[in-house]
Amino acid sequence: MKKNIRQPGDKTEVICEECQAVRKATWNYDNYLLDDGTVVKEVMLAHCDVCGAQAGLAQQSSYLIRNAREKNKRRDRTTITLSRPLRDLAETRVFKAGSSSMSAVEVILLSVLAVLREPDRREKYLLKIKTLEDKKLLKSGTYSERLPIRFNRTTAKLLEEVTAATKLSRSEFVRRAILLEDNLVNEHVRTFTLV
């Protein structure tokens, strides 16, 4: 394994696109430019000994490319507020199903959104969410808990659609999502606890 880690000054041979020839090349750390303009720093690259072009990319640096791509796919964030009892309920629901790398509130919100994503179910479930107003837990306690929620663009768009349709704020929608419990939602909760 050790011999396959390129180190500064190591030599190789590679096809150089600039020279259009097989050239000797020397490995060294350098900045690498991705197509979207992102500069990835300290990538192990083989530089052509004749023209100096970056001709080879070491497999040991793939994680740097991956990290740069992940950073570019930054997730949208929002902060929601809810009461302690509602948060306790969310944690209990998710704990019952398993555990997840996401927060319990995120798991439940994504589970409800997963159901709402299906057009034939959307209307029915939006009505369920709207008619949760009398639930005691929705009214009890102060909104003392502030939680960051992360989601990708698709989820953000869906959340925007359903909050507009219900005329609820994001926080209120999440609070009600925590109270929405049936077999279909719970099935998604179980799936997200595998993540």
Partner 1 sequence: MGFKSDKAKVLEDLENLNFDHEARSGRIEEENLLAAGVISPEEAAEIVAQSRGNDYELRPHHQVKYPPVWILTPLVKGTNWYVKGYFLADQTWFISFHPSNS
Q: How far is the CB of 192 from partner 1 (least distance, A)?
A: 23
3-class secondary-structure state, position 112? helix
Q: Are 177 and 108 in contact (CB under 8 A)?
A: yes
CA 120, distance to chain mean position in Å, is 27
C-alpha angle with apex 12: 11 to 13, nearest 5 degrees?
Answer: 140
Tell me whether residue 12 or residue 163 sits nearer to partner 1 (CB atom): 12
Tell me whether residue 20 or residue 183 sits nearer to partner 1 (CB atom): 20
How far is Cα 115 from Cα 188, in angstroms, rounded to an integer?
Answer: 8
Looking at 26, 29, 57, 181, which residue binds partner 1 (CB under 8 A)?
A: 57
Tell me whether residue 42 or residue 182 sits nearer to partner 1 (CB atom): 42
**Segment 66-95, which members bind partner 1 (CB under 8 A)?**
66-67, 69
Q: How far is the CB of 71 from partner 1 (least distance, A)?
A: 12
Looking at 8, 41, 42, 59, which residue binds partner 1 (CB under 8 A)?
A: 59
How far is Cα 37 from Cα 59, in angstroms, rounded to an integer?
Answer: 21
3-class secondary-structure state, position 144? coil
Give contact residues for partner 1 (rule: CB under 8 A).
1, 4, 6, 12-15, 17, 20-22, 32, 34-35, 45-46, 54-60, 62-67, 69
